[in-house]
Structure formats: structure tokens, C-alpha cells
Structure 1
Amino acid sequence: MLNAKKGRLLISEPALTDPVFFKSVVLLTHHSSDESIGLVLNHPTKIHLNEILNNIPLSDFPVYIGGPVEKNSIHFIHTLGDLIPNTEKVTDGLYWGGDFDTVLSLMSKNEITKDDIRFFAGYSGWGENQLNEEIREDGWIINNANKDICMKYSNPTLWTDLIKTKNRKYAIWANMPKNPNLN
């Protein structure tokens, strides 16, 4: 079994009924015994970045729900590495955060595309050992992340598609209805 660490994915157990985490896939961008931070990859909004930053003319980059913490904050992952100062490497070819003014400048020059960067409103956060405890209680399945899953595979079926790659123990989850009590 894999352990939680930066650059891994958390796949929620379907009994997690919180709407932010129901059938969610979270990229861990930071993990320590003190805290863990991640971004939900598969919950798009109908909002685009140009609607949030209405005083800056931008292409309509989609915004995803990153998590329930600080919902009014913007976070981003990207493939641009050191082109964006103060970025943090998450895994091979994938980075988190960095200087937002540089991002806006590159966007205004059309030097960043939707394939290079993804934006999130809010983030997912856990306190001291909280995530490790949730994992011990089978609230999350841990999976390796890679740049392609995190950047190119952004549709809502990501959770189902990843569950189908796991062992047979989880196969029944893939077709589980939103509320199994209604069956």
C-alpha cells in the first residue's frame, strides 16, 4: 500500500458524502505530519478565470473546486517549471503555485495555454495527522500521480476511471449510485 506524500493522488471512498469530496480525486501538493494540502482535480465549476479577475482581459481558463478551505483564494498547478518564479515541484513535470503576476503577464502575451496550467478556487487541507488517520480508516485510496492525469484528464469521470484500475475490491464502487439508499 502506498503512503500519502506530495505528488500522490487521494481517491475518495464513496461513503465520503461531503459534496466537495464525494467521488473526488485530490492531488497532494504538500504533505507532512503537521499538515497536508491538496487540490480536487475532478470538480469543475462553470466559472472561468476572466470572470473572477474581471479587470484583467484573459482567455477563459476554467476554474475547478480545489477544496473547502479558503474558497475565495486561487491556486494553480502547471507544467512551466522555473518559468514561473517561486513554484514548487510536485512530481515530474508538474508544479504548484508560484508568482501570480508572472502568470498573468505570460497569459496576457498568450504564452500560457490551458494545457500548461489549471486554476482552482480554494484548496483541501488537513491538520496534524488528520489525513493519515482518514487513510487508516479507509477514507482514501492512494494512487501515484503523473502530469498527464493532473493536467489533461480533467473531466468528472476521473474518479470512476481510476477506481476501475484498482483491484477487484474496489470494482463495485465504479458503478455505485450517488445515493445507494435510493435503490
Structure 2
Amino acid sequence: MKALKAGKILLAEPFMLDPNFKRAAVLLCDHGDDGSIGFVINRPLNHRINAILEDFPEFDAEVFFGGPVESETTLHYLHNVGDLLEGSIKVSNGVYWGGDFEKLKFLIASELIQPSNIRFFLGYTGWGEGQLSEEMTTGSWVIADTDANYLFKMDPNELWQEIMKNKGKTYTVIAQMPDSANWN
């Protein structure tokens, strides 16, 4: 699939039943022949980073459910300060993944990184070789372009609907469909 690449957002089709991905917006951060990795960007966990990490500067940042893979043990982060954080990987314009964790803590303690610059994720979403392409052919996902504002400026609870609306035409109608068929 040519349109699949790092930096794209995958929107779950509106009737996906898997609770991990129901109305999920997943930012694809790595995609290749051997598999894909992304993060669900619209599932806040109602936990702050300091409740999860003990040795971390005081920082009022929410933690998100990144996906079902290693969701109990693995912390990832997406940010918009790639020029400050060595080792970060550019995912798309204004969006970077990871980087030197000790430098991150220093930048936060120095107040050079604010909560509006970063999103933390427990776990990630992963697909094995060919798995995501297969899911695309069955219509499980809709591909959308990434905008850094989706991560750092918008209400995550409205993200799936907003990104779907931004695709225009038919997708605007899909975005307005009720979350449950019982509401019809």
C-alpha cells in the first residue's frame, strides 16, 4: 500500500468492535516490510506522568494509552521539540518520537519543555509483516494526513471525529455517525 507510511494517521472504521481501537486515531510512527508501529493518540488514561514515573521532574502531563502491546511496561513519547532532544525521530512536520530520556528530564526540569509540547504513551500499537496491509484491504482503517495540532492543541476526546471531518465529503457524514447503533 503506497499511502501507508510513517507520519500518517489511521482512523478506525466507525463500527470497529475491538475495544482497543474503537474510534481510535493511531499515528503511524514506523512502517516497513517487516511491520508497523504507532500510537493511539486519542485515549487519555486519566493518569499524570508523575504517578507513573517516580524519578521524574514535577510535570503536569497526561499519559495516554498508546496501544495494547506492552501497555503495562513501555513508555513512549511524541513531542514537537525535535531540535532540542537528541536522538528523536521525525515522524512528520512538527512531530517527533522519543529521544534521549535523561535530556528530556533535564529540559522539563529547566521548563524548556511544557506539557503542551509532549504526549506520553503507555504501550504501543504494532502490526507484524503484512498485517496492517491486510487490515487496510478489509477496510478496518481510513488513512488521514497528520497535523501536529492534532497531538498538541486539540481535545483528544474529539480527535477521531475532527480528523474524519477534515477528510471532507463522505467522511464528514461518517464522523457524525453515532458511536453505537443503539442510538439510531
TM superposition score normalised by structure 1:
0.92
Q: Is the 8 A contact 1:41 1:154 kept in 2?
A: no
Question: For residues 92 and 168 of structure 1, do their structure 2 counterparts lie closer, same or farther at Cα, with a shift above 3 Å needed?
Answer: closer
- CA shift, 1:2, in A, is 6.8
- Alignment deviations for residues 112-169 of structure 1 (CA, whole Å, 9 cap, x no partner): 1012111111111000011111111111110111222222224211111122233443
The whole-number CA distance in structure 2 between the counterparts of 1:57 and 1:79 is 19
Q: Is the 8 A contact 2:59 2:115 kept in 1?
A: no
The whole-number CA distance in structure 2 between the counterparts of 1:38 and 1:17 is 19
- Aligned positions of 1:80-159 closer than 5 A: 80-159=81-160
The whole-number CA distance in structure 2 between the counterparts of 1:92 and 1:164 is 21
TM superposition score normalised by structure 2:
0.91
The whole-number CA distance in structure 2 between the counterparts of 1:100 and 1:127 is 27
The whole-number CA distance in structure 1 between the counterparts of 2:87 and 2:163 is 31
Matching residue of 1:77: 78
- CA shift, 1:93, in A, is 2.0
- 5+ long unaligned stretches in structure 2: none
What's the C-alpha RMSD, in Å, of the aligned pairs?
1.8
Matching residue of 2:35: 35
Matched residue count: 183
The whole-number CA distance in structure 2 between the counterparts of 1:90 and 1:177 is 32
Q: Decide which moves more: 16-25 or 53-62.
A: 53-62
- 5+ long unaligned stretches in structure 1: none
